């Protein structure tokens, strides 16, 4: 019996590679997003630390105008950094949504070919079984006629 060969196997292989490539791109973008979220978290943590130190300074009664002015300017800078970093995170999330759509489309293309392959393979083996059954019938019929 000749083994089944799917004539579109090269196309299926190419589509599987495309899907894998898109998944790797997605993993890279998710890694980037995690890094960006970490940077945003550090900015927020630093902002909280400065506010806590200002509260402690106020509670202790040791108010230093230069420190307060410097902290105010630094807090303004941190707020701008946080705003910019938030924009970057949102942009990256939008890219992730686009990549998810691309991955879904590539996955659908692979699935279509896999279904076609399964269907053709099933038909191939059914045809083979029919031919085999016909040959057995012919053998039995010829034997019966000989006896």
- Counting residues of the chain whose pLDDT is more than 70, the rounded percentage is 97
Residue that the structure tokens 């130190």 belong to: 53
User: What are the two backbone dihedrals, phi and then psi, of residue 110, each rounded to the nearest 5 degrees?
Assistant: -65, -45
Do 99 and 75 touch, CB atoms closer than 8 A? no
pLDDT in tens, 83-138: 999 999 999 999 999 999 999 999 999 999 999 999 999 999 999 999 988 888 88
Instruction: Give the burial string for 14-24 (b: 16+ CB within 10 Å, else e).
Output: ebbebbeebee
pLDDT in tens, 32-47: 999 999 999 999 999 9
Do 124 and 4 touch, CB atoms closer than 8 A? yes
pTM given for the model: 0.75
In the 8-state DSSP scheme, what is residue 3? P
User: Does pLDDT of 147 surpass 90?
Assistant: no
């Amino acid at each position: 019996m000749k083994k089944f060969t799917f004539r579109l196997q090269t196309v299926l292989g190419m589509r599987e590679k495309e899907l894998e490539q898109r998944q790797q791109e997605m993993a890279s973008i998710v890694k980037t997003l995690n890094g960006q979220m970490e940077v945003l978290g550090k900015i927020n943590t630093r902002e909280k630390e400065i506010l806590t130190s200002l509260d402690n300074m106020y509670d202790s009664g040791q108010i230093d105008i230069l420190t307060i002015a410097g902290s105010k300017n630094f807090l303004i800078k941190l707020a701008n950094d946080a705003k910019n970093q938030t924009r970057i995170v949102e942009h990256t999330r939008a890219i992730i949504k686009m990549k998810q759509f691309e991955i879904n489309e590539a996955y659908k293309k692979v699935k279509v070919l896999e279904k076609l392959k399964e269907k053709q393979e099933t038909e191939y083996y059914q045809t083979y079984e029919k031919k085999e059954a016909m040959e057995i019938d012919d053998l039995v019929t010829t034997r019966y006629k000989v006896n």
